[in-house]
Structure 1
């Protein structure tokens, strides 16, 4: 598209600009207009997506309002095309990110990566003045992708808030599993057979009989709860990948008691799931868990690396990354519908199975292009997962050897579609040799070091809890540290703790403390202290302390 740009002088001597006959800033007082516009659109603690930079006045005004380390993402084709310049201070700002319109289809994936780094999960799309008239298609695409991500994020936030306590217990208990389990590092490039990843979509049903007949010629990975559909047909996978820390996920594995199938899991996976697998277990890291490598190396004196697997919104993404990690060969996806094929949510033996009532569809449901070029019903969550698959395939090595053999569901772009039977005929006949030998377990965590680590964790939590309770109850005795010093002290302690467990101590839980340090007023704590956040922090540290205490007892009694 062509853009005709004309700069004008305003009544107050401040420049404005006209693009394709549309005025981007007031011709009277652009700064005052930008301040009012920013106040109207600013949402505390949200990630702001500004569509339209103009001359940067709105960016200045938004940055002046930011108080909680908010992020501002700016999208403007005029910048991408070199038509307007960006202020140096905006280029240098850690709170401003400029997204190139040339990659607009990857916006959702990019926002997800920002979310994982900054732990800010609410998104606000702000169309700058008159940009809806200049770039309507780009604005609509931004809104569409942000809405898809927001549907997913709302679920993620609810999960984190609801399950914080169990996730803390999961991490600590799965660290205890270092006494018996290995890193997936010892499996790297160890597989020569063709790989099949089974997911729980409705189309899995049509592949099960063929999978059963050819089971020994492939390495089979079950994505999470799909294990139940496979076991119903007496099909035992080589590996099950599990990442979910919730009680609902644990129930999928209840009473399975698998002897030969191996579990591949992350540290936030529900810790009781491991008990259903009497065989080997292998650990990897999610992006949000990456700080655990430092703890494992520095405090547990282990030299092993726990790889961070690329993923997305479902365990199937991590299953694909794991498959590529252990093999350079062909990989087939089956049951990866990401849609309500035949108005079904899952394969019928999956515990999450339900039928869809077409007469009462939520607003985020829609019909999109399917595997065969027709139409299939899906929703925003599934479409976000589809986008994650498309980006993941781009990032993984040997993408041309990844095949979608679902034969149903949505069309996943840039992935080769072939029938499952064709995949098996093409690859299994040439791969009857045994898998490569696994690397022997080359590390061993010290039980004593684990005990010391968890004991120190208990002491650290107790110290922080003493300060938080003191702030909560406003009990200050004479000759004690002034209020400002106490807040500074507890903030430093929590910040240090946050460097190890950032997923639980998010920035908003510290921002009010840091702001309190800056103010250091003489009023009582009850006038300024955020009791709700303080209660959240107390619960978090009490959970860490209690979980660590139980683990110390386990180490002493069971190992």
Structure 2
């Protein structure tokens, strides 16, 4: 507990003080003599081409000093106290100079991990506003914990990008004949508007809520997220739709290869092509922000932002389709008896290796055990719920899990208290079964664009190699930049390829925006530029080489390459 006091002292200086009721201490958050000099000294130590996270803002003098400094860096100010805020106009001015102010209460670790992601190639540093380091640990520990969580999430996201850097391009290309002719959910939006949805995930509490799903299967749309389909089918319930976005072959072999489900699937181009190729039911496609191939072929489809799990994808779907209520079943994000899959769900080997176990707030009370991956997913779903609720005041979301983790903004709802009265006409949902005809002609066109892109990159790389790496003249620099400009004018590369190596690309973009102070007047700066751009081109070359020869291309693609 604390009391925040704003006062003007005898020097007419606004001073913000914290009365810590735990320690009975009074702490001034800014200088009581000269806040201006205090902040000038503080910001004088900041450097260009860095990413700073500054904890605390004091009486606001820091913000004005940073604004006047015109530093070529990214700065994120995280204020622990909800009583300290600034006008939106000032925040907008600061954002134009890459200075961002957040109140800690309104920020989760995903915002911070995104900031880290957007600072690729820049050194990151955490600083305390003077005097904030004198605060008790109860004020600082939550924000430090968020920083730690964000760092873990940033590493997970970077590893995910690396793991799927080929799949997220290959699968949309191989799915083109299906996505090109796939059905558009937007044409059916009126069927879903103002209707309740039951979203089924694969968590342990799925089994405990089977009777609720069975009881309300005619009164709500039932969507099974990915692997949850088998948890339902194996317990005698057929969902109305199944959602799937995962490009991994494991997703096909573990969950869909032998499934008995033949109803409609709602999907994205990133889904493993074997799942869609062998599925005998209807396919509804949406665009997905990490998939630039499908959106180029089908700009008319519903657009869904990139998310980390199919469960969050399903939740966003209900928002965009105009659901009235959403009941989350099996969305535990926690362990039960050391497992996070419900009985009846097909497990793959990766699910058995749960890694480190931590505790998070439970959905009803107390703490529940979960994994680092599930904890990261919890942050993602918290972020998704927050975004939905900011944009949609009508939708109501409930979590039926008694054993699960607490999702912010989503209250627990006892299944016995839920009464749905109106029967939904589902006769329009297609149940036709047919074998997919796959035509790879358009996919081959994209593959050929990739090979031509590789040829152009190789040619530019050869020309860059001829530049003297020890003494780079301004004329050499001009030639280098023209070659890079030509490289990025390649539509296949700029639109599709660079997205798959985002960390490297963002690092180069940050270098151009923040990295050089003297306008390349020194040979050292020009050599540094040459070395970094040479590395960038080599990364692109290597990626294209591995992409062209990737094992997931069908034989006809490899023959076309010979």
TM-score, scaled relative to structure 2: 0.73
Match of 2:204 in 1: 202
For structure 2, list consecutive stretches of 5 or more residues without a partner in the other structure.
18-26, 431-438
Return the alpha-carbon distance in structure 2 between the equivalents of residues 184 and 243 of structure 1.
15
Q: Where does 1:297-376 land on structure 2 (aligned, <5 Å)? A: 305-309=300-304, 312-348=307-343, 349-351=345-347, 362=356, 365-368=358-361, 370-376=362-368
Partners of 2:323 and 2:395 within 8 A in 1: no
Match of 1:72 in 2: 75
Bigger drift between 450-459 and 245-254 goes to 450-459
Partners of 1:7 and 1:18 within 8 A in 2: no
SS at match of 1:430: coil
1:265–1:489 CA distance, 2 compared to 1 (3 A): farther
Deviations along 1:227-265, one digit per CA (max 9) or x if unpaired, are 232333343323222223334434433523666322222
Deviations along 1:477-529, one digit per CA (max 9) or x if unpaired, are xxxx9643442233224444565235324321445578699538779979941
Q: Where does 1:139-538 land on structure 2 (aligned, <5 Å)? A: 139-191=140-192, 194-208=196-210, 211-212=213-214, 215=217, 218-256=220-258, 260-289=262-291, 295-296=296-297, 305-309=300-304, 312-348=307-343, 349-351=345-347, 362=356, 365-368=358-361, 370-379=362-371, 380-388=375-383, 390-395=385-390, 397=392, 399=394, 401-423=396-418, 426-427=419-420, 429-434=421-426, 455-456=448-449, 458-471=451-464, 483-496=476-489, 497=491, 500-501=495-496, 503-504=499-500, 505=502, 506-511=505-510, 519=520, 528-530=530-532, 532-538=535-541
TM-score, scaled relative to structure 1: 0.73
Match of 1:441 in 2: none
State the aligned residue count: 516
Partners of 2:8 and 2:14 within 8 A in 1: no
One of 40, 55, 60 as aligned partner of 2:62: 55
For structure 1, list consecutive stretches of 5 or more residues without a partner in the other structure.
10-14, 297-301, 439-445
Q: CA deviation at 1:128?
A: 1.7
Q: CA deviation at 1:335?
A: 0.4
Match of 2:434 in 1: none
1:113–1:281 CA distance, 2 compared to 1 (3 A): farther
Return the alpha-carbon distance in structure 1 between the equivalents of residues 114 and 523 of structure 2.
41
Deviations along 1:272-309, one digit per CA (max 9) or x if unpaired, are 332232222222233444x668734xxxxx6x522223
Deviations along 1:383-416, one digit per CA (max 9) or x if unpaired, are 4145235414514636554332233312334334
CA RMSD of aligned residues (A): 4.8
One of 97, 113, 116 as aligned partner of 2:100: 97
Q: CA deviation at 1:61?
A: 10
Match of 2:23 in 1: none
Return the alpha-carbon distance in structure 1 between the equivalents of residues 39 and 147 of structure 2.
28
SS at match of 2:318: helix
Return the alpha-carbon distance in structure 1 between the equivalents of residues 51 and 183 of structure 2.
39
Partners of 1:286 and 1:310 within 8 A in 2: yes
Partners of 2:244 and 2:266 within 8 A in 1: yes
